[in-house]
Amino acid sequence: MPEEIFDNEAFTLASLTTGYNSATNIDADVLNMFTVENVENRTVMIVKSGTELQVLMPGEIGNNPNIDVADKESAVPVSLIRYPFETYIVPSDLTRIASLKDKKLKASELAVLVKTQMTKHKANHRYTAAFTAYSALKGIVKNKNGSILTNLFNTLEVEERKVDLKLGTPGINVPLLLKGIKKDTKTNAKKHGHMTISGVTCRLGQDVIDRILNHKSIKEFYGEEVHAKRVVQFADDSSGINICGIHFITDEADAVETKGASYPTGINNLFCMLRAPADVLSGGTNQRECYITKKMKDHDEGMEIRSRAIYLPICRDPSLLCEIFSSN
C-alpha cells in the first residue's frame, strides 16, 4: 500500500482539527459549570485578593490593580496540567480503503476514518478535564494520578468545610445539618460580596441521596404524607431532588459518589477552566481546546496523530464549598 494515501486532504492538519472540533461526544455535565479562561503560558500564579482568588502571570504581582496587597511570598505558582494523547492509523486501517477505485468513495471513507480517530481524542481530553474539574469542586485540585496540584483553601486562607451526616447514628438530626450547610454557604457568599446566590446544590451518588431521603429525621420533618410523595418522586426521576433546601444532583462520578460536593448556584465565574496554548514552537495555538500534530511512523507502519491540551480547573472562592458525607 503506497504511503501517498496520506497525501489525501483528509490527513491535513486542517482536516484533523476540523474532525476534532466537529466530533460529538457525551460531555460530563460538570464541565458546563466551568467558564474557560485563556492564559498566556503554562505556569500561573494564584493569589489571594480580598475574599477570592486571582490568577496572574509570573511578573504581574505588584503590577496588577486587582490585587490589593502585592505579597509575592503568599502567591502560589501552579503549572497547568499537560495532557498528551496519541492514536495511530496503521496499514490494516487503510487496506480496504486503498483498494477502492471510486475517488469520491475513497475520500468519503478516509474522512470517516479521520473523524473516528479525532472523536477518540476529544473524548479522552473531555474525560480528563472532567476528572480534574471534580477535584476543583472539592477545593483541592488533583491530576489524574491523584497528586495534589494546589490546595485552594490554603491559598485563600480559609478552612475546608466538611459535614458528616452520620446517617447510621440514632437520634441524628439530618434536616438541621442540611439547613446549617445552606445557611453557612449563603452567609459566606454574602460576606464575600456574592449577592446573586440563588441556592445550594450538591452532587452526590444516588445510594447516599436515597439514604438521606429515607432517614427517620427526614420523614419526621416532612410528615408521612408529603414524605411518601417525595420518595415516589425520586423513584420516578432519580436525577435529583430538593431536600431541606439543598438541591441534590445524582452523580456517580468516583469523586462525589460517596462524598458529595456542595456549592452555591447563581454566582458567575465561580468555577473557571484555565487554558494555556500548547507548548510547541508553532504559533497560533492560543484559544484552542487542544493542539494537533501528526508524523509518519518509521518503517512504513502508518501515521501517528497526537493532540495535547493544557488546562487547570479552579474555584475562585473555595470558602463556599462543602463536602457532604456519612461516616456510617
> The whole model's pTM is what?
0.84
**Mean pLDDT calculated for residue range 199-211:** 96
Specify whether 146 is located in the same domain as 287: yes
Q: Residue 299 belongs to what domain range?
A: 3-151+274-313
Question: What DSSP string runs through 179-195?
Answer: HHHHHHHHHHHHHTT-T
Specify whether 23 is located in the same domain as 143: yes
**Displacement of CA 298 from its chain's centroid (Å):** 37
Quote the pLDDT of residue 205.
96
Mean model confidence pLDDT for the chain: 87
User: 199-204 and 260-265: which strand pairing?
Assistant: antiparallel
Q: How confident is the model at residue 35 (pLDDT cuts 50, 70, 90)?
A: very high
Alpha carbon dihedral 247, 251, 253, 258, in 10-degree steps, equals 60
pLDDT digits (tens, 9 = 90+) for 57-102: 776 666 655 554 545 556 788 888 888 889 999 988 888 888 888 8
User: Taking Cα atoms as reference points, which of 253, 255, 248 lies closest to residue 218?
Assistant: 248
Quote the pLDDT of residue 76.
83
Specify whether 247 is located in the same domain as 109: no
Distance in angstroms (rounded) separating the CA atoms of residues 224 and 138: 35
Specify whether 147 is located in the same domain as 284: yes
pLDDT digits (tens, 9 = 90+) for 120-177: 998 888 888 888 999 999 999 988 788 898 999 998 889 999 999 999 999 999 999 9
Specify whether 145 is located in the same domain as 201: no
Considering its fold, how many domains does the chain have in total? 2
Specify whether 15 is located in the same domain as 78: yes
Quote the pLDDT of residue 70.
43
Specify whether 250 is located in the same domain as 177: yes
Quote the pLDDT of residue 207.
96
Quote the pLDDT of residue 64.
58
Specify whether 202 is located in the same domain as 280: no
pLDDT at 291 over 60: yes
Cell numbers of 115, please?
473523524
Cell numbers of 171, please?
437520634
Specify whether 240 is located in the same domain as 288: no
Give me the percent of the chain exceeding a pLDDT of 90: 47
**Mean pLDDT calculated for residue range 234-260:** 94
Quote the pLDDT of residue 67.
54
Q: What CATH number is given to the structural domain containing 170?
A: 3.30.2320
